[in-house]
Homo-oligomer: A and B are copies of this chain.
Amino acid sequence: MKVSCIREDLLNCIQIVQKAVPGRSTIPILMGILVETVGGNTLKLTGTDLKLGIESTLPCKVINDGSIVLPSHIFGELVRKLPDEEIIFTVEENNKILFECGKSRFNLASSPAEDYPSMPVIKEENFIHMSQNLFRNMIRQTNFAVSEDETKNVLTGQLLQIRGDSIRLVALDGFRIALVDGKGKNDKQNEIDVIIPGKTLNEFSKILSSRDSDEFSISLTENQILFDLGSTRVISRLIDGEYLKYEKVLPEDFKTTVIIDKNSLINSIDRAYLLAREEKGNNLIKMNIDGNNLVITSNSEAGNVYEQIEIEKEGDDQEIAFNSRYIMDALRSIDTEKVIMKFINNISPCIIKPFGLENQLNMVLPVMIN
């Protein structure tokens, strides 16, 4: 194998597939990146932890075809530190690989490609098409609510719910729900409910473009999902199981609706949290909705805080307590200047939504206090 390519293309490609390479593994070869020529002057890089796989291609000049597995971390660092010139790499005997770039010459130990696990073959139907930036934002607006508790199987994933062209992402961890709706183009106009691992979506969001016009496509098998970005393909296993019927727990019959400036609320909770967190495991803040004011208080041994914010209110006054982190996560996922909060009473979930938008909803359970 002998290939030359542009440093920047290679670096970009390495950084994409590294999202799937585990930092540690009991299977050492998984900490490598598979590099192979795939005909037509194209080089393909692959990284996988066996659950998530990412392949990405770049243009190159193929002098001799071949394939090799390089240690991911050193390979990435090396290419990052090389001068911005053409890189030539040659596989020599004993799986040694020689890099030449400017006046630098590197020999790296590598492993034979035969030892690398093969990626699952997915029949590419690519029947759903949507904007990369839209999906990136949808992941950002929900991913924080995925359960970190590995024993909660389906809750470590996110529900992708497709109804014709409507695409919904849902995450919930037993204390809160985050959901967001978007539009795509579904060639089959069918109904789909699959659970994608939260970590996959988090890593995937990092390689999605922030340009609305860049699109990607989705293919599905019974237990795999394929995201096709053109030169990059992401394949993830799906989580087996039944997702919670989240629609049934979304509350109705609210007694109080509040419109509030999002940043004022974030800043006030941020200060209240400063004292709340002084006691371990205590993120508790109290909200008192009284007339046209929201008063936020928190207490700890270190002291106490009292924050007052003007609000627009319809309905009853309320006194209710929350884990401040859950409220903050919801507020930070919202992009509008104002938010709407809806309450029933101090033991029922509250709803937080962007003001003037109907495509996003957060539900947070209160903390019961005396």
Cβ of A213 under 8 Å from chain B? no
Residues in A288-326 with C-beta less than 8 Å from chain B: 301-309
Cβ of A117 under 8 Å from chain B? no
Report Cα–Cα, A307/B74, bound state, in Å: 17
Contact in complex: B302, A104 (CB < 8 Å) = no
Tell me, rounded to whole Å, the shortest Cβ–Cβ distance linking A166 to chain B: 40
Tell me, rounded to whole Å, the shortest Cβ–Cβ distance linking A212 to chain B: 34
Residues of chain B within 8 A (CB-CB) of A304 are 106-107
Cβ of A71 under 8 Å from chain B? yes
Checking B83, B107, B307 against A103 with a beta-carbon cut-off of 8 angstroms, the contacting residue is: B307
Number of A residues whose C-beta is below 8 Å from B?
Answer: 31
Report Cα–Cα, A179/B106, bound state, in Å: 35
Contact in complex: A302, B268 (CB < 8 Å) = no
Contact in complex: A302, B82 (CB < 8 Å) = no
Checking B77, B104, B302 against A108 with a beta-carbon cut-off of 8 angstroms, the contacting residue is: B302
Cβ of A172 under 8 Å from chain B? no
Cβ of A335 under 8 Å from chain B? no
Residues in A261-289 with C-beta less than 8 Å from chain B: 267-268, 270-271, 274-275, 278
Binding site for B on A (CB under 8 A): 71, 74, 77-78, 81-83, 96, 103-109, 267-268, 270-271, 274-275, 278, 301-309
Q: Given contacts A81-B274, A301-B109, is CB(A104)–CB(B74) below 8 Å?
A: no
Contact in complex: A274, B77 (CB < 8 Å) = yes
Contact in complex: A71, B108 (CB < 8 Å) = no
Report Cα–Cα, A270/B103, bound state, in Å: 14
For the complex with contacts A74-B274, A103-B307, A105-B306, 7 further pairs of A-B residues with Cβ separation under 8 Å are A74-B278, A74-B302, A78-B274, A81-B267, A104-B308, A106-B305, A109-B302
Contact in complex: A106, B275 (CB < 8 Å) = yes
Report Cα–Cα, A303/B107, bound state, in Å: 5
Residues of chain B within 8 A (CB-CB) of A268 are 104
Tell me, rounded to whole Å, the shortest Cβ–Cβ distance linking A200 to chain B: 30
Residues of chain B within 8 A (CB-CB) of A274 are 74, 77-78, 81
Q: Given contacts A74-B278, A278-B74, A309-B103, is CB(A271)–CB(B82) below 8 Å?
A: yes
Tell me, rounded to whole Å, the shortest Cβ–Cβ distance linking A112 to chain B: 16
